[in-house]
Amino acid sequence: MLNIKKVREQFPYLKHGKIYFNHASTGPLCTPVLESIRKVLYEKSETNIDEYLGLQAVINETKTDLASLINTSPDRIAFVDNTTNGINILAAGLQLKHGDHVLLNDLEFPANVYPFLNLQRKGIVIDFVKSHDGIVSAEDIIQNIVPETKLVSISQVQFLTGYRVNLGKIGKVCREKDIFFSVDAIQGLGAVQLDVVKDNIDFVSAGSQKWLLGLQGLGFIYISEKLQENIDQDCIGWLSVEDAWNFLHYDLKLKKTADRYQGGTLNSIGIYALNASLKLFKQFNFSEIENQIINNSMYFIENLGKTRFKPIIQDVDPNNIAGIISFKDPDWKNIYDSLAKGNIDCSVRLGYVRMSPHFYNTKEEIDKVIDVLKQID
């Protein structure tokens, strides 16, 4: 069972009395991450300045941990700088022809939209599934698949409302119809688990700076072998090729692993940070973390429903809940300001007040937020 008190000791900001319910925007740095960064900065400034072998070991270990997190092998993981550029690898490279369709929905974060809209200039048709009351369900996606659909791309957890879609249902239909299936996992990973095998997912892109508690400027992709065979890789660097360290032997033979998408120098500080945060998650067990987050969210939803502010995902199955709880109100600025005065950190997106507590946040903190909301006229 999770020792929440022990977990909370790892987050320095808590000593200032702040209630941080904004992990869907940016995760705070925990002590293990801070210590890892300080150690690396010290070494790079005073001792092991060019410690390539040490970095490579951390890269390999971090990929192993990420692979375990989503049930794949490390050779299917590549580091990128952010979710958007990860998705661009897919959008720019997938072998599509004039008249092919890509299926999205009207509640996607733009990172999972613009790379595909850019394909319209090549005659690719982008279809949008219409949401209902802030929700796009698996059934909505499946019903909008047409014979010309070649790719479905969706967020694991919807950034605005917090709805967690049933990826397994979509993936099963995509596999049956020979459609590639892509998932933007930035609002899910670190909060809820993901299984690319069980859910028949071909591609994942996610940044590390939110629920995974890493740094901005580092993300990763997962790409299946089948999808990789159907990607025409536009961007290639010296580290994309098999014989990369034979500098003057210019042989454009790409690596067979996902490493081919790491064309040049990686964000080493970001990788060290992510490595440390993943160790924290492993220490407290990912399944227990997910249970804690869902329990927090259900408690939050139940008590928010007793106020005048009604959560968007109030009446959904627990399997469709992750870590985001939001409500829409025309007086959002006053609500946000009132919460800020109470040392409560959340965010506002398009008039939605969005709360996103993590596994180490407590029901007592949720109660304090509810008390502030009840006092708002």
Measured distance CA(322)–CA(358) in Å, rounded? 10
Q: What percent of the chain is predicted at pLDDT more than 70? A: 99
**Cα 188 vs. chain centroid, distance in angstroms?**
5
What is the reported pLDDT for 51?
84
- pLDDT, tens digit, for every residue of 271-290? 999 999 999 999 988 999 99
Measured distance CA(67)–CA(61) in Å, rounded? 10
What is the reported pLDDT for 377?
66
Nearest to 359 by CA among 271, 277, 252: 277
Nearest to 198 by CA among 168, 166, 154, 221: 168
Radius of gyration of the chain (CA): 21
As beta bridge partners, residue 78 has 221
Q: pTM to 2 decimals?
A: 0.97
Residues of the chain with pLDDT under 50: none
What is the reported pLDDT for 260?
98
35: Cβ–Cβ under 8 A, 6 or more apart, which residues? 276
pLDDT mean across residues, the chain: 96
What is the reported pLDDT for 25?
98
**40-74 burial by CB neighbour count: b if 16+ within 10 A, else e?**
beeeeeeeeeeeeeebeebbeebbebbbebbebeb
- pLDDT, tens digit, for every residue of 74-89? 999 999 999 999 999 9
